[in-house]
Amino acid sequence: MYIKWIVCEVKNNLKEEFSSAQEKWIETKNSEGFIGQVGGFDLNNKTDACIISFWENEDALNIFMNKFHNKIFFNNNQSDYYNSIKIDFFNPILTMEGEFQFLGDFLEKGKILRIADCFVKSNKTNHLEFAQNEVWMPGMKNSTGMLGGMFSKDVNNSPHYLVSTFWDSLENHESYVEKVLPRLQEKSQVKNDITKITGRKIKLIDSWKIIKNSTVNL
């Protein structure tokens, strides 16, 4: 699997126009190797639009980019509605189990996407990956409302990781933050591994959801 992660800083008075343009990416569904895409606005940074897409592999995404991307992009005029865009690519290295087995299920049913975008000390990557597998995954699996997620590493092999988890409600996510997160932080001892972390709490917009293959097993 291959992940594309996009953050756009949307012009403050053009969020509705950006949202309408984002809906036109529905044509992506026709692309070979496309699995699904969701997105919304960060509740903590309300002009940041965040989109995450899942592909079977890098080749599938490259074919889409070469054959179809520009036609959709220029027809929807989306670049008129944001000030900046940042794009990163990741390879999943750990599956985070939750209430659902299939990727399409938690893309479809997810209401909140929690993101931890982490830059890590180069000599601490092994510890971070160990802690993710041994502490965070089982701890989050048992959290009410956690539907599933991915722990992924930057394709450029830099010490840059993306943790993406999907939640069934804001209430259950906030309960996790209040009651579970502090315990996992203490137990995992990863604070000193990380040089920079950007946390995001994204309210997913149903009209942005594009799900082609709902039976991809995690």
**For residue 176, is pLDDT > 70?**
yes
For range 133-156, the mean pLDDT: 94
Q: Are 100 and 109 in contact (CB under 8 A)?
A: yes
pLDDT tier, 214 (very low <50, low <70, confident <90, very high otherwise): low
Predicted pLDDT at 216: 54
DSSP secondary structure of 97-128: --S-SBHHHHHHH-SEEEEEEEEE-GGGHHHH
Predicted pLDDT at 60: 97
For range 7-34, the mean pLDDT: 95
Name which of 128, 136, 131, 134 is nearest 153 in CA terms: 128
Which residues pair with residue 162 across a beta bridge?
Answer: 117, 152
Q: Is the pTM of this model over 0.85?
A: yes
Predicted pLDDT at 217: 53
Cα distance between residue 148 and residue 170, in whole Å:
15
Q: Between residues 76 and 214, which one has the greater pLDDT?
A: 76
* Fold classified for 2-211: Alpha-Beta Plaits (3.30.70)
**For residue 61, is pLDDT > 90?**
yes
For range 16-26, the mean pLDDT: 96
